[in-house]
Structure 1
Amino acid sequence: MDHATITLIVLGVVAFLFVTELIPVAVTSILGTLTLGVCGVLTPKETFSGLSNDTVVLFAGMFVVGTAMLESGLAQAIGRMVVKRVGTSEVPLMISFMLLTIIMSAFASNTGTIACLMPMVIGVCASAKIPATAILMAMAVAANAGGMMTMVGTPPNMFAVSALQERGLEPFGFFEFAFVGAPVAFISVFFMVFVGRKLLPKNDSDLGVLGNELTGSGSPRQRWTVLGILIFVIYGLIFGIPGLSQAMIAIIGALACVVTKCITEKQAYKGVDWVTIFLFAGMLPIAGALEKTGAGKMIAESVIGLMGDNPSDTVMMSVLFIISCGLTQFMSNTGTAALLIPIGISISEELQVSPYAVVMAISIATSCAFATPVATPPNVMVMNPAGLHFIDYIKVGTPLCIIGYIISVFIIPLVWPFNP
């Protein structure tokens, strides 16, 4: 059996176990990548490469900074201020945090945005005495949708620009993605307020898992120190610091929290959400195997083959959108874009249509990473703190993917005609 087939079988089993949760999701994730290692699809180094991935390290660092915010009482203090202005109702709080997340993730890393805001949201929910489940999920949705609005909002958009430039074509403008991204982002707010939050469990006992466990009894000195560390981390994640990666910035912030005695070493270890760490670290090598073995390309080419010799513009765009959206639920959205955008441009050239509509459809589709927790870092970051299950992402994410598809099919041909 060739490696691509083995990878597809493992992916199918992992998806089944994720949905049914017959065994814990983090265990499933590690078992999946370990199986690929045992079968020789991945090398021993590649099998555990996810544990040293920059994003996983970023997660760990930000969990510690978030714990310091909660233990020091900073998150709760911010929460009380927000509650005074917005109130204690779930809907106004959800709208406020979703809009803030959309704006931040349009210009900064969506992972960094969630990492910075999540402790504050937990503090707000603790102050307002409401479950954090729906608001945290709404923020993950907003982070993914907000990234669609600008060229730098998400890596697929930047890859789309680069791919067009490499072909000698005029690239998309900085805000050109917002023609589709903005409607998706703001309709996602209405969806979460009126539909999405009602599809999620009411984890009253959770209160974001952390809210009840942390008393926030730190001193004023500790709160001011953590605030200074948080400002450093937010600045670094959004604007960057020469010579430092995002992971390094997060770890510096985490170490500073311990060194300044804002939290103890034991509290730092306890604050790391190990389910998130192992879930994401396990899925990264599987996503890599899809690219390495050509399994992802096999899926793409097989489905594209179903279009026939002379597909209509709408059919072509729809098929590429569905493939891109489907793959990005289990693969890196950057990897999916890197795989499919060149294929999309080649198809457009062969059919003698403008490549812009095709490339935009693929870019938006790869950012519609709503339907699984492993589709994008923001999804997996909120999973355990919000007390969510794999099926919750399917319930909320699938309609959002359909909304993204409908908006794309309606708007893209109007803004970027296939036959200008």
Structure 2
Amino acid sequence: MTPAIKCLILLAVVALLFVTEMIPLAMTAVLAAIACSALGLVPENQIFLGLADSTVVLFGGMFVVGAAMFYTGLAQKVGGAVVKLFGTNENSLMFGLMIIAAVMSAFLSNTGTTACLIPVVMGICAQAKLSASRQLMPLAFAAGLGGTCTLIGTPPNILANVALKAAGMPELQFGFFEYAYIGIPITVAGIVYMMFLGKYILPEAKTDEVADVEQEIDATNTTPKKQMICGIIMVGVIGSMATSVVPLELAAVVGAVLCVLTGCITEKQAYNSIDWITIFLFAGMIPVATAMNTSGAGKLIAEFTVSLMGGNPSPYLVTAVLFGLAVVLTQFMSNTASKALLCPVGIALSTQMGASPKAVLMAILIASSCAFASPVGTPPNTLVLGPGKYKFMDYVKCGGGLVAVSMIVAIIVIPIVWPFFPTAA
């Protein structure tokens, strides 16, 4: 049995366990990592290498910084300001938070944006007596949508330019704001979907954890000085992430250390604030994503899908199929890996048809950012898993509809903005 087939079987088993939750999600991810080694898909010394991944480190640091905002009372104060602006109505809050997250994510890391806003959302929900599970998933989705609006909204966006340059087509590279032509319509459509349909699918989990934290905050020093210090640290972390002065994970860890050293949070509180389910879930799936790439499983899926289209497929069909393929892959692979895998395929197919590759590439880029139907497809989804007390199927139910909406908008808008045959137009 080839490594690619082994990987595909493993992926099917993991997907089944995720959907049924026969065992906890984090345990499934850890067992999947071990299985990757047992099947010879990754070396033994890389089974738990995901725990040292930069994104996992970023998660840990931002959990501590976010908790410090709670324990100093800063999150509640910021939440109060947002409540004054948007009110305490669940719908108006959802709308306001999604707008804020989308705008921030267009220019900042969508992971960093989500991590920074989680404590604010939790504070708002505690103050307004709302369920955090009704707001955190829309927050993560908005961060993902906003990342499609610019070249730097999500780092893998630039992979299309790399692929075009490698194919000898540097003149076709995408501009910084060119993504906005499709990113903004999809973001608007996504917000409309959540406001009028998605919100009815969201679960309503109890927020006992928020109440527990609030009780502990009453016994904690929440002086204006501590709040100011915590605010300065948070601004410094966000500024460092925005300007790329230092790597995201380094900014988060330094911020976490400063929160402890300045007394904004105790060492014990810092350790307890880390959501280990999120850490192990994300870290455990990294070897699986790596195996899909190195074993050739991802490529096998791509080649099989392309072969089903026949010898002379319509460019619209190619775009739709590649969009669907990228969406499926990105629910379990990193969007970086799915884009890196499919961009060369898209260029080759468009060249074979004599069409401009920009439409096909943009479909792949957008689809690879639509990892809304899984908690492991994109870091923002994973970050809100614990605080929102979500189950795997919550993402499938609510995020699946958002994926469908994004696909419809993409197939309509992309050919208009980037014609398949521009010279013949």
Q: Shorter-normalised TM-score: what interval?
A: over 0.9
CA separation in 2, counterparts of 1:209 and 1:275?
Answer: 20
Please say which of residues 157-166 and 66-75 is displaced more in the overlay. Answer: 157-166
Q: 1:385 aligns with which of 384, 387, 394?
A: 387
TM-superposed CA distance for 1:41, in Å, is 1.3
1:349-379, Cα deviation, whole Å (9 max, x unpaired): 1111111111111111101111100000000
Structure 1 segment 318-329 matched on structure 2, within 5 A: 318-329=320-331
> Do the aligned residues in 2 keep the contact of 1:142 with 1:185 (CA within 8 Å)?
yes
Is the aligned partner of 1:238 residue 2:242? yes
Match of 1:285 in 2: 287
List 4+ stretches of structure 1 deviating above 6 A.
Answer: none
Contact 2:126 2:211 in 1 (8 A): no
Aligned to 2:260: 258
Structure 1 stretch displaced more, 287-296 or 194-203: 194-203
Range moving further from structure 2, 195-204 or 363-372: 195-204
Aligned-partner residue type, residue 228 of structure 1: I
The separation in 2 between residues aligned to 1:133 and 1:294, in whole angstroms, is 37
Distance of 1:69 and 1:82 partners within structure 2: 15
- Residue deviations 1:40-80, cap 9 Å, x none? 21112221111000000000000001111101111011112
Equivalences for residues 308-387 of structure 1 within 5 A: 308-387=310-389
Partner SS state of residue 84, structure 2: helix
CA distance in 2, matches of 1:286, 1:391: 20
Per mean C-alpha deviation after superposition, the further-off stretch among 25-34 and 37-46 is 37-46
Q: What is the CA-CA distance between 1:346 and the residue it aligns to?
A: 0.6
Task: State the Cα distance separating 1:164 from its structure 2 match.
Answer: 1.8
Match of 1:229 in 2: 233
Q: Structure 1 residues 214, 302: closer, same or farther in 2, change over 3 A?
A: farther
Counterpart for residue 68 of structure 2: 68
Query: Structure 2 vs 1, CA of residues 204 and 137 (structure 1 numbering), >3 Å: closer, same or farther?
Result: same
Paired residues of 2:190 and 2:406 also in contact (CA < 8 A): no
- Distance of 1:186 and 1:208 partners within structure 2: 31
Aligned with residue 180 of structure 2, among 178, 183, 201: 178
Task: Find the aligned partners of 2:411 and 2:215 in 1 and give their Cα distance.
Answer: 46
Alpha carbons of structure 1 residues 179 and 220: separation in structure 2 relative to 1, 3 Å:
same
Distance 2:9 2:252 in 1: 36
1:167-193 deviation digits (Å, cap 9, x = unpaired): 223211211111111111011111111
Counterpart-to-counterpart distance in 2, 1:146 and 1:90: 21
Query: 2:412, 2:298 → 1: CA distance?
Result: 27
Deviation at 1:13, TM superposition (A): 0.8
Q: CA deviation at 1:165?
A: 2.8
Cα distance in 1 for partners of 2:122, 2:104 equals 18
The Cα offsets for residues 117-146 of structure 1, whole Å up to 9 and x where unpaired, read as 111111111111111112110011101110
Name the CA distance, whole Å, in 1 between partners of 2:147 and 2:279. 23
TM-score by length of 2: 0.96
Q: Distance in 2 between matches of 1:239 and 1:209?
A: 36
The 2-side partners of 1:25 and 1:67 are apart by 23
% of aligned pairs identical?
A: 47
- Cα deviation, 1:312-355, whole Å, max 9, x if unaligned, reads 12111111111111101100101100000011101111111111
Residue among 270, 273, 279 paired with 2:272:
270
Deviations 1:257-313 (A, max 9, x none): 111122111100000000000000001110010001010000010011000001112
Deviates more, 1:406-415 or 1:78-87: 78-87
Measure, in 1, the Cα distance between the counterparts of 2:91 and 2:419: 38
Aligned partner of 1:29 in structure 2 is: 29
CA distance in 2, matches of 1:327, 1:213: 43
Return the TM-score normalized by structure 1.
Answer: 0.97
The answer to whether structure 1 residue 90 and structure 2 residue 68 are counterparts is no
Contact 1:65 1:257 in 2 (8 A): yes
Cα separation, partners in 2 of 1:201 and 1:211, compared to 1, 3 Å: farther
TM-superposed deviation, 1:211: 5.5
2:165 is aligned to 165
Structure 1 residues 123 and 202, CA gap change in structure 2 (3 angstroms): same
**What amino acid does structure 2 have at the position aligned with 1:306?**
L
Give the secondary-structure state (helix, strand or coil) at the position aligned to 1:372: coil
What is the CA-CA distance between 1:156 and the residue it aligns to? 3.1
| 1:246 CA drift (Å) | 1.1
SS in 1 for 2:217: coil
Q: Which moved more, 1:56-65 or 1:79-88?
A: 79-88
Q: Which ranges of structure 1 fall in alignment gaps of 5 or more residues?
A: none
CA 209–414 in structure 1, closer or farther in 2 if over 3 Å, else same: farther
Aligned AA (2:326): S
CA deviation after TM superposition for structure 1 residue 209, in Å: 7.7
**Alpha-carbon distance change, 210 to 402 in structure 1, aligned in 2, over 3 angstroms:** farther
Q: Give the whole-Å Cα distance in 2 for the aligned partners of 1:279 and 1:51.
A: 10
For the residue of structure 1 that corresponds to 2:135, the secondary structure is helix
In 1, Cα distance between the equivalents of 2:121 and 2:106?
19
CA RMSD after TM alignment: 1.4
Within-5 A mapping of 1:68-217:
68-166=68-166, 167-168=168-169, 169-206=171-208, 214-215=216-217, 217=220
